[in-house]
Structure 1
Amino acid sequence: METRVGLISSAWLAVPPNGYGGIESVIADLIAGSQNLPVDLRLFTVGETSEKDLLSRRITLGWHFQKGLYSEIGDSPQNIFYEATHAVAARAWLEAQNVELVHDHAGVVSQAIALTAQPAVPTLITLHGPLDLPWVQDFYRLFRGIKNIYFNSISDAQRRALPDIDYIATVYNGIDMAKFPVAEIKKDYCLIIGRITPDKGQHAAIEAAREAGLHLVIAGHVESSDAGRKYWQESIEPEIDISLNEKHNPMRALREILSIRDDRPLVIYFGEADFKQKCELYGLARCTLMPIFWEEPFGLVMVESMACGTPVVGFNRGSVPEVVTDWESGFVVPDTAGMVRAIENVNRISPKNCRRYAEKMFSAERMAENYFRLYRDILRDGNSEK
């Protein structure tokens, strides 16, 4: 008999997202990984792409009254109203669907509604973000002793900032491995991909790649905050040798640059990469760098890189030591000097072994199986109290 589970996605982006959208990508991969499990998924989401991509996947869909307003609303005061109406509409729709359990990925507004309602249907809340802000900690402490609400972390490191709430489990994010091709032949560059912000450490990647004598490709958008723009203007942009951001075909331009023998390591700004470009960038890179300066709860970049057969070299912060295993999928290092030494050893990790490690640890199927076990455990827990 199938377990009927309602998934609540965010109020902003489609599932799967058309571009950036970490949480929405995780939900899409959870759905993909659940295809052979006895679970009947009901997804409440926004955005037109969901209809095209998900109706073929044995899943019932519901939408809020408007489909995807992120570009129109952004950070405006309307966003709290929109999130709240999305969450209320989701709860009403899922109640009509007679789900046995709600799996909420939508964020604190949706969770606050669950807290005040104290729902009769068990709710599993996946904590996707950092837990180190005081207001976030105060908010989650309100859930102590509330029945039918359960939390899971996405790494053990995520819990360290808030150890005093009851986590039912840690479930690592997984990805649909079939979407990520393995590349056996590597080029002489390191890759750093993601938002350009001090926390992501592009400045440290520049230093490490130059010291190791390799090109560095930087892919991603400049964070729109004042701090992000200042970081770009003062620390990153002056170091860039070649920008491909305005090129019609940046991938072709990059291949041409890499085909020219040049002993001088270059810093190349690629700009934002779409999914196909991202896979090519991962696959061709000697390694992907994660010189993070914050306690990142889970970095999908690491898993995506490994899936393409490219090892990861990351600082010993956040979830990095849980995701990366030395000599199997990359190296965990203490600082920039350690990153340079590790870059010199990444060729000793074969792309096939790196891919196998990713498949074993971080496939969509493994994530889905872990969540399915949680669903069953929660429902058994609820039934035992009746």
Structure 2
Amino acid sequence: MARDYYGTLGVQRDATPEEIKRAYRKLARKLHPDVNPDAEAQQRFREVTTAYEVLSDPKRRQIVDLGGDPLDNGAGNGGGMRDPFAGFGLGDIMDAFFGATSGAGGRGPRSRVQPGSDALIRLSMTLEECATGVTKELTVDTAVVCELCHGSGAEEGTSATVCDTCGGRGEVQAVQRSFLGQVVTTRPCPVCRGLGEVIPNPCQQCAGDGRVRSRRNISVPMPAGVADGMRVRLAGQGEVGPGGGPAGDLYVEVEEIPHEVFERDGADLHCTVRIPMTAAALGAKVPLHTLVDGDQEMEIEPGTQPGTELVLTGRGLPRLRSSGRVDGRGDLHVHLEVEVPTRLDARQAELLRELASLRGEEEPALSHNGKGGGLFSRLRSGRNHR
């Protein structure tokens, strides 16, 4: 009884060659020993491979359609089923369908000129420089176009020639016979590395690369409002590509130096200042040196308490938008500490005792704020519950 080759592949008798190929490809992925080592799967793989060999051959398929079996009695290939995957891995099978298998060649040579990569340099900046913006002179070490060959990679008066191995195609082909028939695989040429050309006389300065490393000085304008970790992009100032290809970009990353007085929070600034006890009690107008605007007058209200925070609107840092434009400024937050004198002369002590007498504070009483009370209320509560 003739074998059912169509049923083995799971296709209809009127299936097109492409449908037969897709069906086999799907089964081969599932049943190949490299994927499925089960003995039953291996036997099944032999069967589907034999079915594909028969149905992909027009003459053999015609015998099947007439009710015969081309593998019986030596018909077609000498009879019997041979081992279809002897010497071939799953990769070889997939290459036959998807790899660079073409009698007319593959993608062709790639260009010797390639784009360059980006470069990164870190720049230390003070808080004042971040606030006002500054132009910095930097020394960078990147690949630049070779001055001798101007990027060609060849000695002066010479040029690249067509690769004899691949004939300028950048690819070489290898022909293999398999159970699928003749398979032509295409790979990059090992001599020219896929370029299609070689340089018989490389430039002595760049060794044929078309670029050399060089130190150079550049001016970098850093806008006002930059912060730690931000990057400024300089287009075309990075690494020149192989063959003198277009340069990548240079990114300058800010490393902000901590300030002795001001602490930064985005565009806002914070600082802590001490004021005399008398100024806190009586009020005063005192000069405050700001980071950007110089000396500003700050008004202390009478009765100011320790820990009071005064906000000077718009006295902080510029707000730098993602577009690089400045959109207003942050605020300056001033945190007040009241300084209590530690040493008093006789007259000062007398005046303070007189003030205490006038305020009825010769024997001061402790007080606390809030419903829950402070430390002393909790201590009293604890004693009452004993």
TM-score range, shorter chain: under 0.3
What TM-score, normalized by structure 2, do the two folds share?
0.16
Normalising by structure 1, report the TM-score: 0.16
Q: Write 1 or 2 for the structure with the bigger share of strand.
A: 2
Larger Cα Rg: Structure 1 or Structure 2?
2
